[in-house]
Amino acid sequence: MTNIPAPCDTASAFAPPGSPTIRNVNWGGLKTLYLKEVRRFLKVQLQTVWAPAINSLLFLVIFTVAQGRGGRLMGGVPFADFIAPGLIIMSMMQQSFANSSFALLVAKVQGTIVDYLMPPLSAGELLSAMVGAAVTRAVMVGGASWLVMLIWPGVHMWVQHPVEVIFFGLAGSMLLAFMGVLTSMWAEKFDHTTTIANFVVAPLALLSGTFYSIDRLAPIFATISRINPFHYAISGFRYGFIGTADSPLATGVSYLLTLDLVLGLACYILLRRGWKLRN
Distance between first and last Cα of the chain: 65
Tell whether 264 is covered by a domain. yes
**CA dihedral in degrees (110, 47, 196, 224; nearest 10)?**
160
pTM, two decimals, is 0.88
Tell whether 12 is covered by a domain. no
Tell whether 37 is covered by a domain. no
**Signed CA dihedral, 242, 90, 54, 80: sign only:** negative
Tell whether 83 is covered by a domain. yes
Residue of 165, 164, 166, 105 lying closest to 130 (CA atoms): 105
| Domain ranges, residue 195 | 44-273
Tell whether 39 is covered by a domain. no
d(CA 201, CA 228) in angstroms, rounded, equals 11
In tens digits, what is the pLDDT along the chain, a chain of 279 residues? 555 555 544 444 555 665 556 678 899 999 999 999 999 999 999 999 999 999 999 999 888 887 765 567 776 788 888 999 999 999 999 999 999 999 899 999 888 898 898 888 999 999 999 999 999 999 999 999 999 998 888 788 889 999 999 999 999 999 999 999 999 999 999 999 999 999 999 999 988 888 888 877 778 878 888 899 999 999 999 999 999 888 899 999 999 999 999 999 999 999 999 999 876
d(CA 177, CA 143) in angstroms, rounded, equals 18
Tell whether 32 is covered by a domain. no
Tell whether 213 is covered by a domain. yes
Tell whether 3 is covered by a domain. no
